[in-house]
């Protein structure tokens, strides 16, 4: 009892001397050593489900490699299935922030989902890392201070592809078939702009709803007096289109140029000869030759029997960015402003894609690879045939000039060469 009384007197003395500061520190330390709560918004049903599942596998691989710890703290993961519906995306985001009290959100998958939760991200000031959604204006004309991207903007890789197709393949006339939503519009816009600036002409555009089951009506409309067909699809739509394209006898008539996700490694496993020789562009290819990519590809194959691709590397890369930012603030993610400042200034040297840095608006500057689908080791993969190093979302344009124009859409760039 005497020892207890002495200890109590000691506490009183210390408390008075420090102005209660000592007592305040204790709960703060306890809070900052608890788990880091990470919200993850993905899609597990509908036409984009294949990508959503691959995203989840990429994130889980990262956590497994680190024994579910980042910056010395355990990670508590909350997964929300948005079903690819903007209204559900809003609900899941709100639930994670207000009920689960997450410190950071990785997601959502689709451009239209990211646009749907943009206002909520701003109001709630929840740090958000996009592992897939390429909605241009989130890092362009309407930058969100609480949002960064681990992948490129929708048009970023297609600027390089448009130039490549015009200058190196020497194609002059292109027909386009693409998903009729923001991601498709922006992919097409980037390709069309640089293709036409380098002497080409887009003479036909066909827009297909995201949930199209049969592309026959679109394939039958494709003009035969073009040099190639450019496609821009997300999820499993590339699989359906290319299969039917071959069934209609078009593969032998017109070559196909694709956006990154149309022939992503994650869906090539479901394709056959219909995908052979398709040339595309992207910031990732399974065949990128560096140790980090080899480790990533081998890890996915071992843990999930899956080839790496757009969606899995996006989530894995988002986690690498989270890790670098957390190291920058010594694990103190509760200091939101300091954490967000660190996140906007990350430089990732161990990403499977190569070195990643962010521009002033929170979008990656990274290599873009021109790829060709080939069969290697008995399966399809994308072989790198050209590398454009350190590509910005603004391509070679001056930032102010680029931003003075409208966001890419169905109507911009103007379609001056369409033929009836």
Domain match, 140 and 182 both: no
Domain match, 146 and 183 both: no
Record the pTM.
0.88
Domain match, 254 and 276 both: yes
Establish if 29 belongs to a structural domain: no
Strand partners, 129: 106, 148
Domain match, 248 and 282 both: yes
**Token pair listed for 329:** 């603030």
Domain match, 171 and 259 both: yes
d(CA 297, CA 101): 33
d(CA 308, CA 62): 13
Nearest C-alpha neighbor of 259 from the set 41, 107, 111: 111
Which pLDDT score is estimated for 32? 56
Pairing of strands 279-282, 364-376: antiparallel
Establish if 182 belongs to a structural domain: yes
Q: What is the pLDDT along the chain (420 residues), one digit of tens a residue?
A: 444 444 444 433 433 444 433 333 333 333 457 999 999 999 998 878 888 999 999 999 999 999 999 999 999 999 999 999 999 999 999 999 999 999 999 999 998 899 999 999 999 999 999 999 988 999 999 999 999 999 999 999 999 999 999 999 999 999 999 999 999 999 999 999 999 999 999 999 999 999 999 999 999 999 999 999 999 999 889 999 999 999 999 999 999 999 999 999 989 999 999 999 999 999 999 999 999 999 999 999 999 998 899 999 999 999 999 999 999 999 999 999 999 999 999 999 999 999 999 999 999 999 999 999 999 989 999 999 999 999 999 999 999 999 999 999 999 999 999 998
DSSP 3-state percent helix, strand, coil across the chain (nearest 5)? 40, 20, 40
Which pLDDT score is estimated for 9? 45
Establish if 326 belongs to a structural domain: yes
CB neighbours (10 Å) of residue 221?
11
- For residue 345, the number of C-alpha atoms closer than 13 Å in the C-beta half-sphere is 10
Domain span at 179: 156-287+367-403
Domain match, 282 and 193 both: yes
String of b and e for 204-219 (b: at least 16 CB within 10 Å)?
A: bbbbbebebeebeebb
Establish if 15 belongs to a structural domain: no
Domain match, 165 and 240 both: yes
Domain match, 304 and 378 both: no
Establish if 410 belongs to a structural domain: no
CB 152 within 8 A of CB 125: no
Domain match, 240 and 273 both: yes
E strands of 191-327, at which residues? 201-208, 228-232, 256-258, 279-282
Domain count, the chain: 2
Domain match, 124 and 166 both: no
Establish if 11 belongs to a structural domain: no
């Amino acid at each position: 009892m005497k020892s207890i009384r002495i200890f109590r007197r000691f506490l009183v003395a210390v408390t008075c001397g420090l102005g209660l500061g000592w007592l305040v520190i204790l709960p703060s330390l306890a809070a900052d050593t608890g788990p880091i709560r990470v919200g993850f918004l993905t899609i597990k049903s509908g036409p984009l489900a294949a990508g959503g599942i691959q995203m989840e596998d990429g994130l889980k691989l990262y956590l497994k490699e680190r024994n579910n710890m980042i910056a010395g703290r355990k990670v508590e993961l909350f997964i929300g299935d948005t079903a690819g519906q903007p209204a559900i995306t809003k609900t899941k985001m709100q639930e994670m922030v207000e009920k689960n009290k997450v410190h950071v959100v990785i997601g959502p998958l689709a451009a239209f989902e990211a646009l749907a939760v943009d206002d909520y991200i701003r109001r709630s000031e929840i740090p958000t890392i996009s592992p897939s959604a390429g909605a241009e204006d989130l890092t362009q004309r309407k930058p969100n201070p609480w949002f960064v991207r681990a992948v490129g903007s929708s048009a970023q890789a297609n600027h390089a592809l448009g130039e490549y197709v015009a200058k190196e393949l020497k194609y002059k006339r292109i027909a386009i078939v693409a998903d009729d939503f923001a991601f498709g519009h922006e992919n097409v816009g980037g390709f069309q702009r640089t293709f036409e600036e380098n002497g080409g002409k887009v003479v036909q555009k066909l827009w297909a709803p995201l949930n199209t089951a049969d592309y026959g009506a679109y394939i039958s409309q494709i003009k035969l007096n073009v040099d190639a067909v450019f496609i821009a699809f997300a999820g499993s739509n590339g699989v359906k289109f290319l299969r039917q394209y071959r069934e209609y006898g078009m593969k032998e008539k017109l070559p196909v140029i694709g956006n990154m996700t149309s022939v992503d490694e994650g869906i090539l496993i479901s394709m056959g000869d219909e995908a052979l020789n398709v040339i595309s562009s992207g910031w990732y290819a399974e065949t990128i030759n560096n140790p980090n990519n080899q480790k990533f590809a081998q890890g996915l194959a071992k843990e999930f029997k899956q080839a790496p691709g757009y969606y899995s590397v996006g989530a894995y890369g988002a986690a690498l960015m989270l890790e670098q930012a957390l190291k920058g603030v010594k694990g103190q993610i509760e200091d939101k402003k300091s954490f967000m400042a660190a996140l906007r200034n990350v430089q990732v040297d161990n990403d499977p894609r190569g070195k990643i840095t962010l521009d002033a608006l929170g979008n990656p500057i990274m290599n873009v690879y021109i790829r060709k689908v080939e069969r290697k080791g008995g399966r399809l993969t994308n072989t790198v045939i050209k590398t454009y190093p350190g590509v910005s979302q603004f391509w070679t344009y001056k930032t102010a000039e680029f931003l003075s124009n409208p966001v890419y859409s169905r109507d911009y760039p103007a379609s001056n060469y369409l033929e009836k």
